Amino acid sequence: MARGLIWALLVAALVSVGGLGPNVARYGITAAIYVLVGLSLNIVLGYTGQLSLGHQGLVGVGALFAAYLSKAHGLPFGVAMVVGGAAGAVLALLIGFVGLRIRGLYLALVTLVIGITLQGSLFEVPALTGGGAGESANRPAVLLSNGHFYFVCLAVCLVALYLDVRLTSSKVGRALAAIKADERVAAAYGVNVVGYKLLAFVLSGALAGVAGALFAFASQQFNGNDFSFGLALTFVLMTVVGGAGSRAGVVVGSVLFALLHSLLAQLGAFKDFARLFPRSVTPNVLQFGPDLIGAFLLLLTLALNPGGLAQQLTPLTRWMSGGSVRSASRRGIGTHEMEVLSAGG
Amino acid sequence: MSELVHPVVLASLGGAVGVPLVRGVVSGCVYGLVATGLVLIYKSNGIFNFAQAEFGSVAGFVSLAFLKGLGGFPRVPYPVAIVLGLVAGALVGLVTERLVIHPLFSAPRATLLVATAGTALFLISAQALILGVQVIHVFPPVAADTHFSAFGPVGGPHAYTFGWTEIDILVAVALLVALGAAFFRTRYGKAILAISQDSTAASIVGIDVNKMSALTWTIAGLLGGVAGVIYAPAKGALTPGYMTGIGEVGPLVFGFIAAVLGGMTSLPGAFVGGVLVGIIGSFAGAHIPTSVPGGEQIVVAGVLLVVLLVRPTGLLGKET
Amino acid sequence: MPVVEVEGLSLRFGGLQALSDVSLKVAEWEIVGLIGPNGAGKTTAFNCITGFYRPDAGRVLYRGSEITRLATHERVGLGIGRTFQNVGMVKTATALENLKAAQHVHAGYSAMAGILGAPDSLAAERTLTDRAEDILELLDLTDVRHAVVASLPYGRLKLLELGCALATDPDLLLLDEPSSGMGPEDAAELGDRLLALRREFGLTLLLIEHHVPLVAKVCDYVYVLNFGRLLAEGDPEAIQRQPEVVAAYLGGEVPRDLARSTDPGGAS
C-alpha cells in the first residue's frame, strides 16, 4: 500500500517537472542527461570493473556528430540521436579493444588521455564544429519548449533504465559480474570474456552517445570546451558518490551532481553564505562553490562510506521493489569491488 | 648568444631540427618535473596523484599574488615571490597528505586514486573561487627585456628566441637534479626509497613510515611547485588549474604520459621521459599543419597508446 | 577414443620449465588422478587442458579433436568443466546467482535478447533457476541458496564450487584438490559423492589430489608428476609402492627400508 503510494508520488513528481515552466524543465533535462551518463559509466565501471575515465569523450562524440549532422545535413532529431549513440558506441568499442591489453590504473590513464585528446583535436575541427562558436543543433519545432524536450529526455532515461534492469537480471549481467570479480572464473563459467567486455563498452558508449546528442539539442550548440577533464572527473565522482554497481545509487548520485550547481545557486542560504566573502569573490563562490562542495562530498564519501549513497539506499530500493529490507546485500562499490578495481596494472 | 652553440653543431642542425628540439627540451623539463612528482607518489603510495599538477597551479598563483601584490599580499621581488610560491606548493602537498592520504591509508588503491582526483577538483575550484574567471592573470616573464637566440639572430626566421625564462627552466632543473641526487644519499632520502620498495619492511627496520609519507608528499608538492612557477612565466596568461589543463591540455597529461612511458619505476627515468615527451610533442607541433587541431596531443597520445599496447607495463616497467 | 588426451606438453615460464613432455589420457567414465608434490606442474597441466595457458609444445586433444589453441570458454562449451585450487566463484554474489552464471553456455538465449527482455529469455531464466535449484538439492545446499558466497564456510564453499562446475554441464570434469582442507571422514564422503556423480551424470573425472586414501578409493588410474615431468603412471595401489614416487614426495633418495613396502593408509 505504502509502496504503491510512494511510486505514484515519484511518477507524479517526474511528470510535473515538465509542466512547471521552462526553468524547472531545464533542471529536469540536465538531470536526465546526467543520469544517462551515470548509467553508461556504471555499465563499464560498476558492472564490469573497467576503469574507464574518458566518458566525457564518448558523450562529446555523440554530441558532436548529432549536432554536425543535424546542422550540416539536415538530419531529423530522431536520426541524429541514433547517430550520436552509434558514434559513442564505435568510439567505446575502440577503447574497449585498448582495454583488453591494458589494465587497471593504466587503462584509467589511457582513457583519460583519449578523452582529453579528443577534446583538443576532434572537437576543435572547424568543419565539424562550425568554428569556435560551436556547431548548433536545432530542436524540431515540437520540442522547442523545454517541457516537451524534458519529456523526451525522461522517456530516453526510462528506456535506458529498462534496458539496464534487463541487463542485470539476464545472463549478461551475471557474465559482467563474473568478469569484474575474476576473469578466470568467468571463463570457467563459459563466458567469452573478450566479447562481453567489448559488449559492455559498446552499450556504455551507445548510452553516452545518446546522452551527448540530447545534450547538443538541449543547449542547441556544440562546444568542445564543455567536454574537458573536469567533466570527466565529475562523471567519475558522481558514479562513485552514488555507488558504482548500484543502479539506484548511480541515479541519485547523478541527479545530485546535475542539480548541485543549479540548486545551490538558488538556495537562499547558499547565497547568504556567498555574501560573506568579499564582494569581488561572491560571484565566484556562486559559480564554483558547487564544484568545491562536490569534490568535498566525494572525499567525505570515500573516507566514511566507500559504498557511496548506494549503501544507504539499499534498504529503501529493496523495499520499493518489493523485496525484504534485510536480505543479503551485494550492491554498491564496497571495499571488495574497489580491491578488484585496483587489482590490474 | 649564438656563441652558446658550437659552430659545428649550428651548421649541422637546421632550424627544422634544432628549434623544435630545444623548445621540446624546455617544455619537456616542465613535464619531466610533473612526471617525477607522479612517480615519487606512485612509488610511495601506488597510485597516480591526480592532484600533482595542482600543487604547481597553487604555487604559481601564490607567486603571482606576491609578485603583483594582489589581494592584500605585500609586493616582493621576483626571487622572493618564487620561493614563497614553492613554499605554498610544498605546503599543499603536505596538507593533502595529512588530510586526504593519511586517513585513507588502508583503503584500496582505487579509492585513493579517486580521492586525489577529488582533491584536484577541489583545488581547481578553490582557485576559481578565489580568483574568478573574469580577470586574466598574467605572470610576467623573467627580465622581459632580455632576449637571446640560437640558430640565428633574434627574431630571425629559423631562430629560437628565448629569454631568462627559458634559461631559468633549465637552471632550475639542473639544480634540482643535483639536489635530488644529493638528497637521496641522505638518511631521509634512503628512507623514502626503502619505503617505496617495501613499507612493512621499512617500518620494521625502524623507519617512521608516517613521517616519511608526509615528507614524500611535501617533496612532491615542492616538485609540483617548481614546475608550476617555471611554467607560469612561459605560459603568461594563467587560468585556474592551468597546470592540469582545464579546457585545454596541460602539463599534467604530458607528465602522466611521460611517467607511464618510463614505467613508473625510476625518478630520473620519469624526468627523461618528460623531456622525451616534450621533444616528441614539439616536433609534432612543428611539422603538423595547424589545420589539424591538437596535433601535438594526438601524436603524444598515440605514442602512449602504441607503447602500452606493445608493453603494457611501460618502456622500463616491471611486470607486476 | 579417450575423452581427453595430452601429448608431449611442454611449457616454460621464464627460467622455470613448468612442464616437460607430459603425456596423459583419460578414457570415458574413468576417474584419473594426477598426483605429485607441490609445484610439480599439476595445476599448470590443468590450465593447459582448460585453455588458461598455451603450451610451448605438445597438443591437447578432446575426443580426438585438437583444442590446443581454443579459448577457455569454447572448451567449456565443448564440455570441459573445472574447479580451482583456491576456489573460483564470484564471491560477492549469492550461491544461486553463481549457479545460474555457470550455466552461461546453455542459457538458451542471446545476449541481445536478454538486454531487450525478449519473452523467451524470461522463460529461459526460469529454466536456469530450476536447474540451479536441482544442483543445490543434489548437494544439500538448498539452505544457502541466497547466501553470499564469501560468507560460506569452507566445506560448503568447495561443494558449491563443485556444483558450479556441474552447472556448466560437462562431460569431463577437472577438479583441483577437491578435498583440500577436509578431514578423513569428509574426504571419504567426497569420494562417495564423486563416484555417485560419475554414475548419475556419466562424467569423466581428472583429479589433482594429495589425499592418498581418496585417490586409492576413487581413481581407476593415476599419473605422477614431479618437476614438470611424468614420473610414473598406473594403478593407484601399485603407484604408491613405487620407490621413486615415495622419494619424490619425501624429497630425497629412495630410503632402503621404504623400498620394501609402503602402507597406503599411513602415508599422508
DSSP track, C109-127 = S-HHHHHHT-HHHHHHHHH
State which H helix or E strand residue C231 sits in.
Answer: strand C229-234
d(CA C91, CA A185): 10
* b/e A231-246 (16+ beta carbons within 10 angstroms → b): bbbbbbbbbbbbbbbb
d(CA C24, CA C32): 10
Record the cell numbers describing residue C207, joined without a space.
583429479
Indicate the pLDDT class of residue A49, thresholds 50, 70 and 90: confident
Cα distance from A94 to chain C (closest Cα, Å)?
20
In a domain, B268, yes or no: no
Domain extents for chain C? 1-79+170-268, 90-168
- Tell me the pLDDT tens digit for each residue of B43-93: 888 788 989 999 999 999 999 888 887 777 888 888 888 889 999 999 999
Nearest chain A alpha carbon to C102: A189
Indicate the pLDDT class of residue A271, thresholds 50, 70 and 90: low
Closest CA to B29 of B170, B162, B232: B170
Closest CA to A45 of A208, A201, A262, A230: A201
Weakest-pLDDT range from A193-202, A296-305, B154-163, C175-184: B154-163
Radius of gyration of chain B, Cα coordinates, nearest whole angstrom: 20
Res B120: pLDDT: 86
**What's the mean per-residue pLDDT of chain A?**
78
In a domain, A323, yes or no: yes
d(CA B122, CA B134): 20
**Residue A53, pLDDT above cutoff 50:** yes
Tens-digit pLDDT profile for chain B (320 aa)? 445 555 444 544 556 677 778 778 888 999 999 999 999 898 888 788 989 999 999 999 999 888 887 777 888 888 888 889 999 999 999 999 998 888 877 776 667 777 888 888 888 878 877 776 666 778 877 766 666 666 666 555 566 667 777 777 777 888 787 877 788 788 777 877 777 677 677 777 777 778 888 888 999 999 999 999 888 888 878 888 788 876 567 788 889 888 888 777 778 888 888 999 999 888 888 777 766 677 777 888 888 888 888 877 666 555 43
The single-letter DSSP state of residue B100 is I
In a domain, A7, yes or no: no
CB contact A299 to B (< 8 Å): yes
The single-letter DSSP state of residue A278 is -
d(CA A215, CA A34): 9
Whether A288 and B103 lie within 8 Å, measured CB to CB? no
d(CA A108, CA A116): 12
Task: Tell me the residue type at C243.
Answer: P
CB contact B299 to A (< 8 Å): no
Tell which wins on pLDDT, A167 or C260. A167
Indicate the pLDDT class of residue A130, thresholds 50, 70 and 90: low
Instruction: Find the CB nearest C102 among A163, A177, A189.
Output: A189
- Grid coordinates 590490474 are at which residue? A344
In a domain, B229, yes or no: yes
d(CA C81, CA A219): 54
- Using DSSP's 3-state secondary structure scheme, residue C4 falls into strand
- Tell me the pLDDT tens digit for each residue of B280-303: 888 888 777 766 677 777 888 888
In a domain, B107, yes or no: yes
d(CA C264, CA C101): 40
Res C261: pLDDT: 45
Domain that includes residue B7, residue range: 2-242
Res A133: pLDDT: 47
Domain that includes residue A214, residue range: 22-341
State which H helix or E strand residue B17 sits in.
Answer: helix B15-45
CB contact A342 to B (< 8 Å): yes
The CATH number fitting domain C1-79+170-268, selected from 3.20.10.10, 3.40.50.300, 3.40.50.150, 2.60.120.380 = 3.40.50.300
Res A333: pLDDT: 37
Domain at A74, CATH number: 1.10.3470
DSSP track, C13-81 = ETTEEEEEEEEEEE-TT-EEEEE-STTSSHHHHHHHHHTSS--SEEEEEETTEE-TT--HHHHHHHTEE
In a domain, A1, yes or no: no
The single-letter DSSP state of residue C148 is B
Cα distance from A142 to chain B (closest Cα, Å)?
34
Instruction: Find the CB nearest A225 among B109, B114, B247.
Output: B247
**Residue A340, pLDDT above cutoff 50:** no
In a domain, B255, yes or no: no
Instruction: Find the CB nearest A335 among B47, B108, B304.
Output: B108
pTM of the model: 0.82
The single-letter DSSP state of residue A132 is T
Question: Quick one: residue B148, left, alpha or beta (phi over 0 = left, psi -120 to 50 = alpha)?
Answer: beta
Tens-digit pLDDT profile for chain C (268 aa)? 899 999 999 999 888 899 999 999 999 999 999 998 888 899 999 999 999 999 999 999 999 999 999 999 999 999 999 999 888 899 989 999 999 999 999 998 999 889 998 888 889 999 999 999 999 999 999 999 999 999 999 888 999 999 999 999 999 999 999 988 888 888 899 999 999 999 999 999 999 998 888 998 999 999 999 999 999 999 988 888 888 887 777 765 555 554 444 444 433 3
Contact C211, C25 (CB under 8 A): no
d(CA A185, CA A196): 14
Give partners of B (≥3 CB pairs < 8 A): A
Res B245: pLDDT: 72
- Grid coordinates 606493445 are at which residue? B310
| Domains held by chain A: number | 1
